[in-house]
């Protein structure tokens, strides 16, 4: 009896063992793969939080159902992982024009919440798809030491590109004017500061047209820099720059060879706000019969279009690329656009938004439809203010734009809203440089006597007995200083 039981048990075990072995191998395979998959790439995973919205939107764009359009992706696509990949399958019927491709990529970026993703299109064959990837990126930071080592006073250093290569603004090959575009926090003021500091180290003059009077406060520490914020001062400075440009053009025409004039760099902040202030100033200055439009606005347009040939370079700071914000886009052949800037603002300057992160200091340098992504030096201007000023002023002697405006042969005075710092000639009167004998312009005389320029101009048209001009200084009318002083005393006595 016992023998029969043993034989039966042995037969049962012989039958069950293969089944147990197969089950064990299956369990080992399943659990072993799960353990291994935790250590390898997440390629091929389908995180529903990101995949489903992409598939739905892409299906709508391509005119098919979500089942036909499917996405597999590495989670690294959501960061700066250049090894990460994704694949978006597409319907056979989708032709994929350039506009369609741009729109589909924009959808992918929006649904994934990152602008770092780019695409390669494989539309031939039975299984068309878009390969998603993260292009090589610039370094995350550019140090002060790197900035100093790579600084260039002729072609200013902008930052580092992918592969840790330097990129510069070439005023000849790229554009003599540059727009720097981006909202708050992208590093716009910091990039403009490093570019201007390099020009200053080479001895260039700097003028700041800042209607907010807060964007480049570090330059207020430099006495040779002309910083304009108030409406009348902005108006006077723009008109003076127009005179300087026209004077340089006239001299260049008379010369046998092109003249290498001292370079003046103009920082122009928020053109639309600047134009508002130029209009406000003209309301106070305008005389009966004069045009309604402020002449300073036309002068500003000429500066952007013609100043390039006379060594007057404009760096425009703006939050958008709409024409009412930056003026004529054709005047700016180069743009540095912040990574956070919306897609439509890239289109406005004739280019596509590249794969670019939104970290501070990350920009795309756009020239002739081509964009290079770079990381600019990003410093705390409040903390680094003294060091930046010391470095910028530690090179060639700065062109003193304040003195130029007071003594220019065109006879244009320093802005009427700001007193001029000069010496006296011993009689207590301000010494007016480069005047022809007793002759002065009305702005020069007004500043020297502590009067408002606009008020003096009104006197010249309101009172018939006001002294008449005795000639010209440059393009401005010249008057006898003695005659002006005598008229003022008589006017005081009669009043």
Q: What are the DSSP calls for 343-365, one per residue?
A: HHHHHHTT----S---STTEEEE
Please compute the mean of the pLDDT values over residues 36-52 and round it to a whole number. 53
Q: What is the DSSP letter of 415?
A: P
Nearest Cα to Cα of residue 476 among 439, 430, 426, 422: 439
Residue pLDDT, tens place only, 470-493: 877 655 678 888 899 898 888 877
Sign of the Cα torsion 246, 222, 231, 233 reads negative
Please compute the mean of the pLDDT values over residues 107-134 and round it to a whole number. 91
Virtual torsion, Cα 136, 142, 145, 147, nearest 10 deg: 90
| Position 417 confidence tier, pLDDT thresholds 50, 70, 90 | very low
Question: Given this model, what pLDDT does residue 7 score?
Answer: 55
Please compute the mean of the pLDDT values over residues 423-434 and round it to a whole number. 32
pLDDT at 165 exceeding the cut of 70: yes
| Position 47 confidence tier, pLDDT thresholds 50, 70, 90 | low
Distance CA 405, CA 402 (A): 5
Helices assigned H by DSSP within 38-73: 48-62
Residue pLDDT, tens place only, 215-271: 898 998 899 999 998 888 899 999 999 888 888 888 888 888 888 899 999 999 888
Average pLDDT, the chain: 81
| Position 371 confidence tier, pLDDT thresholds 50, 70, 90 | very high
Question: Given this model, what pLDDT does residue 34 score?
Answer: 40
Residue pLDDT, tens place only, 306-321: 766 789 999 999 887 7
| Position 52 confidence tier, pLDDT thresholds 50, 70, 90 | confident
Sign of the Cα torsion 300, 304, 306, 307 reads positive
Buried b (16+ CB within 10 A) or exposed e, 446-460: bbbeebebbebbebb
Please compute the mean of the pLDDT values over residues 95-119 and round it to a whole number. 90
| Position 364 confidence tier, pLDDT thresholds 50, 70, 90 | very high
The dihedrals phi and psi of 484, each to the nearest 5 degrees, come to -65, -45
For residue 308, what are the CA distances in angstroms to 139, 314, 322?
33, 8, 22
The first and second tokens of residue 485, run together, are 């002083």
Higher-pLDDT residue of 31, 401: 401
For residue 367, what are the CA distances in angstroms to 138, 196, 343?
18, 20, 17
Distance CA 17, CA 19 (A): 5
Task: Say how many Å lie between the first and final Cα of the chain, rounded.
Answer: 145
């Amino acid at each position: 009896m016992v023998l029969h039981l043993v034989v039966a048990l042995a037969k049962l075990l012989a039958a069950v063992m293969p089944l147990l072995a197969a089950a064990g191998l299956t369990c080992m395979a399943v659990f072993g793969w799960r353990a291994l998959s935790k250590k390898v790439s997440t390629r091929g995973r389908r995180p529903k939080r990101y995949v489903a919205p992409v598939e739905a939107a892409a299906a709508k764009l391509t005119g098919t159902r979500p089942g036909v359009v499917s996405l597999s992706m590495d989670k690294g696509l959501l960061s700066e992982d250049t090894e990460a990949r994704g694949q978006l399958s597409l319907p056979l019927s989708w032709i994929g024009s350039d506009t369609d491709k741009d729109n589909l990529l924009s959808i992918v970026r929006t649904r994934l919440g990152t602008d770092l993703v780019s695409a390669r299109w494989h539309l031939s064959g039975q299984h068309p798809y878009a390969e998603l990837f993260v292009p090589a990126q610039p370094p995350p930071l550019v140090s002060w030491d790197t900035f100093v080592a790579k600084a260039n006073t002729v072609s200013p250093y902008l930052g580092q590109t992918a592969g840790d290569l330097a990129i510069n603004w070439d005023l000849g090959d790229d554009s003599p004017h540059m727009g720097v575009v981006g909202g708050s926090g992208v590093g716009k003021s910091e990039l403009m500061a490093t570019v201007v500091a390099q020009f200053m180290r080479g001895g260039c003059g700097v003028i700041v047209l800042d209607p907010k009077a807060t964007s480049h406060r570090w330059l207020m520490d430099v006495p040779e820099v002309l910083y304009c914020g108030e409406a009348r001062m902005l108006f006077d400075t723009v008109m003076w720059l127009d005179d300087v440009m026209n004077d340089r053009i006239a001299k260049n025409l008379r010369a046998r060879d092109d003249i290498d004039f001292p370079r003046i760099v103009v920082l122009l902040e928020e053109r639309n706000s600047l134009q508002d202030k130029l209009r406000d100033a003209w309301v106070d200055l305008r005389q009966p019969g004069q045009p309604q439009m402020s002449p300073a606005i036309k002068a500003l347009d000429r500066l952007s279009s013609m100043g390039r040939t006379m060594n007057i370079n404009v760096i425009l700071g703006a939050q958008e690329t709409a024409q009412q914000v930056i003026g004529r886009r054709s005047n700016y052949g180069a743009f540095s656009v912040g990574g956070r800037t919306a897609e439509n603002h890239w289109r406005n300057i004739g280019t596509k938004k590249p794969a670019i992160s939104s970290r501070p200091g990350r920009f795309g340098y756009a020239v002739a439809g081509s964009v290079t992504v770079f990381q600019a030096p990003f410093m705390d201007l409040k903390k680094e203010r003294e060091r930046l000023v010391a470095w910028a002023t530690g090179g060639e002697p700065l062109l003193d734009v304040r003195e130029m405006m007071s003594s220019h042969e065109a006879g244009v005075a320093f802005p009427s809203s700001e007193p001029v710092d000069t010496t006296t000639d011993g009689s207590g009167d301000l010494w007016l440089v480069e005047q022809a004998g007793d002759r002065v312009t009305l702005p020069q005389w007004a500043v020297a006597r502590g009067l408002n320029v606009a008020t003096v101009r009104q006197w010249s048209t309101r009172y018939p007995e006001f002294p008449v001009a005795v000639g010209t200084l440059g393009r401005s009318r010249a008057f006898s200083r003695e005659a002006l002083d005598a008229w003022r005393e008589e006017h005081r006595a009669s009043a």
